[in-house]
Structure 1
């Protein structure tokens, strides 16, 4: 005879039972995060990795940690002097100094032709083989209120955030997806394209109007590619004897919150005080911490990668039709997040309203149209 259920399960309302269900789901979610074991789906030893925005911040930390795991690294950024310093730091992190290789390329990735040049040079340097992994970290944040920001600044944000990533992706995917005959096929590990996005692609915050739309565009591009690439991957089925790409390709996107870096320091100087108030829950992380969390998630094979619990909740509220990392875990996370944002979303607008009541409009006057 089974023991009776606790009285609470008989007397609870549907809302209470729903809360218990969500709490159980969160327990499973946390346990799977802490103790989940699986084979490494992101082996980098001996492989060549291009890291854009690799001269400082997250890009540099990513490159150093991948070098620790035995990867060959190509850093890409605009400023040659910073690239030279970063390459030395990456070399110092190498696990196999005698056989790992390192290179840097100075380029303006807002220009599509420059991205083509970068991939051509990286391929030539890599003994005629395309890079195995490309991680897009280039870009910077220029916060400000929409009406207070020039149209040119907003265009620059789209160029340096979205188009650097889209141009890079286009240049490498044309190489990776080029068809080869069945006779040329060789066993080749999966190739990876990694975008660096932001939790602002999930939840808007006043004061990021020049920046967050570009990050949202990266998320949309990633979701689209996650579908399109399956067509190319499917073509490599053993049943298909047509020309196919040389390897499967997977796309991933990392959604950090604040990252401590020189760029973050500049951002703080420009950021409206209201924005700082609204994002009080964001506790900036060191670049090395973000890189470490992201790489571990890639090793688990995750598609949408967040780097702290607040980011997890933001992702859960905005999953929509995006590919799930785990059906069960993300479903429970979505239930919890949607309940949480019943309060959070109105509260953000309420705080903005009361800020206007107390402080008035921004100190810099808005130019009136004539």
Structure 2
């Protein structure tokens, strides 16, 4: 009842983990945390200098630096061919065996009002948020789900594909028009894959009869709120003042907090994972047909959350209306700020 003696559903010691976006923020914190739990970790990002620094941090925090191995790959994951290269390179580095866990953390947020942000930037958001995750998932699952002849099959530990999303996929906030649709797309992809993967898992259980994947697979998705990082600082510089007001309930967490909470939830076997109470309430309003972590608990949470949000959504819309009534439209030279604010330099 209280979790005593519960099986760890996410063992990582001695397993190979790939973390995209692993050179900064949450991705880097996850890499360091898993290194401390005995995992062999490969971090993937664009900037080599940051990747090298992350590898050094993992070596410093490793559970057993003599046995654990760490590696980095510089890649542009908006290119599906690069994702194929990453999985192939990791497999070669791992003596011909595929990685056990792939965690998608790549992406950044460009906040702004929908009509103020050029379509080119909005396409870039979809590329760097959704398509880096979808490309990585496609390359990973094509590798993991390839059938293995019965003669070559053996029972393997479960593999895990993890997406990093945002609570904006549950409850959009004005000023995130370029970003939240990409996160909502990840949530939809995750729900779809959580069904599709069961076909392959079913075949795996009957591996003595037909060709089947080498291991069963579980899908998970993490939904943080604000995360204190260099990326967050950059967001704050361009984020509309209205957006800052509307998200006052979001008290940003450190990357280390988000990593620890997420990993603890993965060890409990959870599917949709939030990292703070407000995020959990937001999840409750939007569960829909998504699989539940705890059917009874999540259903009760959904009822209560929807009662709360009967007031929250009208309040958010009223605040946006009153903001426009008081401050007018954003100044064209300073998107997100009214004319008086635009004349005052930001610190």
- TM-score norm. by structure 1 comes to 0.89
Larger radius of gyration: 1
- Aligned residue for 1:146, secondary structure, equals coil
CA contact (8 A) 1:57 1:261 kept: yes
What is aligned with 2:76? 108
Q: Where does 1:95-244 land on structure 2 (aligned, <5 Å)?
A: 95-238=63-206, 241-244=209-212
Alignment partner, residue 255 of structure 1: 223
Task: Return the alpha-carbon distance in structure 1 between the equivalents of residues 209 and 152 of structure 2.
Answer: 12
Aligned residue for 1:326?
Answer: 294
Residue deviations 1:22-72, cap 9 Å, x none? Answer: xxxxxxxxxx7xx43421000000000000000010000000000111000
The structural deviation recorded for 1:239 is 7.7
The answer to whether 1:74 aligns with 2:42 is yes
Contact 2:44 2:74 in 1 (8 A): yes
**1:132–1:239 Cα change, 3 Å:** closer
Deviations 1:309-366 (A, max 9, x none): 0000000000000010000110110011000000000000000000000000111179
Where 2:205 maps in the other structure, the secondary structure is: coil
Stretch deviating more after TM superposition (273-282 or 89-98): 89-98
* 1:264 to partner: Cα distance: 0.3
The answer for the alignment partner of 1:22 in structure 2 is: none
Match of 1:312 in 2: 280
4+ residue stretches of structure 1 with deviation over 4 A? Answer: none
For 1:148, what is the secondary structure of its paired residue?
A: coil
- 8 Å contact from structure 1 (residues 147, 366) kept in 2: no
Quote the residue 1:265 is aligned against: 233
Partner-residue secondary structure (3-state), 1:194? strand
Partner residue, 1:341: 309
Q: C-alpha deviations, 1:122-159, integer Å up to 9, x for none?
A: 00000010000000000000000001010000000000
Residue 61 (1) aligns with residue 42 (2): no
**SS class of match (2:115):** helix
1:36 aligns with 2:3: yes
C-alpha separation between the residues in 2 aligned to 1:94 and 1:259? 24
Which secondary structure state, in structure 2, belongs to the residue aligned with residue 147 of structure 1? coil
**Aligned Cα root-mean-square deviation (Å):** 1.3
Matched position secondary structure for 1:236:
helix
Q: Which position in structure 1 is the counterpart of 2:252?
A: 284
CA–CA distance in 2 between the matches of 1:105 and 1:262?
21
Question: Is the contact between residue 253 and residue 303 of structure 1 (CA under 8 Å) also seen in structure 2?
Answer: yes
Matched residue of 1:281: which SS? coil
Kept after mapping to 2: 8 A contact 1:192/1:249: yes
SS in 2 for 1:251: strand
The count of residues paired between Structure 1 and Structure 2 equals 334
Task: Give the Å deviation of 1:181.
Answer: 1.2
Instruction: Determine the structure 2 residue equivalent to 1:10.
Output: none
Give the unaligned 5+ runs of structure 1.
Answer: 1-31
TM-score, L = length of structure 2: 0.95
**Whole-angstrom distance in 2 between the partners of 1:172 and 1:334:** 33
Q: In the TM superposition, what is the alpha-carbon distance from 1:90 to its structure 2 partner?
A: 1.0
